[in-house]
Amino acid sequence: MAAPYSTQFFAGAWAIEHTYAVPAGYIAVVRELDVVNGETTAQTIRAGTSAGADFWIQAIEPVKSVQWTGRLVMNPGEELRVYSQGVTGWSVIASGYLLTQ
Q: What are the CA-CA distances from residue 3 to residues 27, 72, 92, 94, 100 (Å)? A: 15, 22, 26, 20, 11
Q: Is 29 within the bounds of a domain? A: yes
Q: Which residues contact 65 (CB under 8 A, 6 or more apart)?
A: 34, 35, 36, 37
d(CA 92, CA 100): 25
Q: Is 1 within the bounds of a domain? A: no
Q: Is 15 within the bounds of a domain? A: yes
Convert the pLDDT of each residue in 82-91 to its tens digit: 999 888 999 9
If pLDDT is split at 50, 70 and 90, which confidence band does 4 have?
Answer: low
At residue 97, what are phi and psi to the nearest 5 degrees? -115, 145
| Biggest CA pair distance of the chain | 48
If pLDDT is split at 50, 70 and 90, which confidence band does 1 have?
Answer: very low
- Per-residue model confidence (pLDDT) at position 3: 61
Which residues constitute the domain of residue 78? 6-100
Q: In this structure, what CATH number is given to the domain that contains residue 60?
A: 2.60.120.340
Convert the pLDDT of each residue in 38-83 to its tens digit: 999 999 999 999 988 899 999 999 999 999 999 999 999 999 999 9
Q: Is 59 within the bounds of a domain? A: yes
Q: Which residues contact 53 (CB under 8 A, 6 or more apart)?
A: none
**Domain tally for the chain?**
1
